[in-house]
Amino acid sequence: MNNKYNALINELEQLYQITPKHIDGNIMGSMTTWPHPVGVKAFLKFIHVNGNDPFTFHVVAECEEKLIREVGGLFNAKVGLHTSGGTESNILAVFAAMKTTGSNVVIAPSTVHRSIDKACELMNCKLIKITTHPLKPVDPKMIKDHAVIHKPSLVVITAGTTETGIVDPVEEVAELAEKHGFLLHVDAAYGGLLIPFLRKHGLINTELKMTRGVSSITVDMHKNGMAPIPSSLLFLRDEELREKNML
C-alpha cells in the first residue's frame, strides 16, 4: 500500500514540476490568479463540505451570505449566489432570464464569451450576435436597433473581454434595458474585480453597479480575486429573481 501511495505522490510531483506556475512569471495572459494562502487553507480545511447542502453544513449558507455581502458591496448588489465558475454563472443568468420572461431571444455582441453560446444552445434560445470589432466595445445604437427588431428577453454584454479586456458600455445599455423592457446581464467574470478599482483611480469611466436596468452580473473570484479555482459569483437584482427561478 505504501509503495503504491508513494508512487502516486511521486507521479503527482513530477506533473507539478512541469506545470507552469504564476509565481514563476512563466504564465502570460492567464485569466486566473495564484490563490492566496488563506484561500488555500480554507479550501483544504473544508474540502469535505458539500457546497450544495447548507442544511447539513450550515457554514455554507453563512459563508455565502458573507461573501455576497462583502464582495457585492463593490457593485451595490445584495442578492447573489456562489457558483463553480463564470460559465455556470452565465448559464444561470440566461436560465433565469428565460424563465422570467418566457421569451427565448438573446442578443449579444460577437465578442461575448462562448459560455453564452453554450447557455443558449442548452436552453434552445435564439442567440443573435451583433458584429463587433474585437478591440472596441459594442455600439449601444446597434443594441437599440436589434432590440426594436427582435424584442429580446435578454441582452448580454461584457465588462472585460477575455481576449482584449474591452469593456462594453454598461450604463448606456442599462438605460436601453429600462426603456425597451429587456433584462441585461453583464459578464464581468474577468473585469469585475478590476473595474471598481480602475474607476477609483481614474483609469476607466465605466461604473459597474447593480443599477436600474441591470438584472445580473457575473464576477469570478479566481480571476484577479486570488481564490482557489473554481469560484464565481452571480449577483442578481433582487431576491425575487433568485427565488422565482430556484437559484
Residue 233 neighbours by CB distance under 10 Å:
28
> What pLDDT sits at residue 150?
95
Half-sphere exposure (CA, 13 Å, Cβ side) for 73?
A: 6
- CA 17, CA 22: separation in Å to the nearest integer? 13
Tens-digit pLDDT profile for residues 142-154: 999 999 999 999 9
CA angle 145, 146, 152 (to 5 degrees): 130
> Going from the N-terminus, what domains does the chain have, and what CATH number goes with each?
37-244 (3.40.640.10)
CB contact set of 228 (below 8 Å; sequence gap of 6+):
35, 39, 40, 43, 222
CB contact set of 247 (below 8 Å; sequence gap of 6+):
81, 92, 96, 234, 236, 241
- CA 245, CA 147: separation in Å to the nearest integer? 24
- CA 108, CA 158: separation in Å to the nearest integer? 9
6: its cell numbers: 508513494
Mean predicted confidence (pLDDT) in 170-188: 97
Global model pTM greater than 0.85 = yes
Tens-digit pLDDT profile for residues 11-67: 999 999 999 888 888 787 778 888 999 999 999 999 999 988 989 999 989 999 999
* Element spanning 173, H or E: helix 170-180
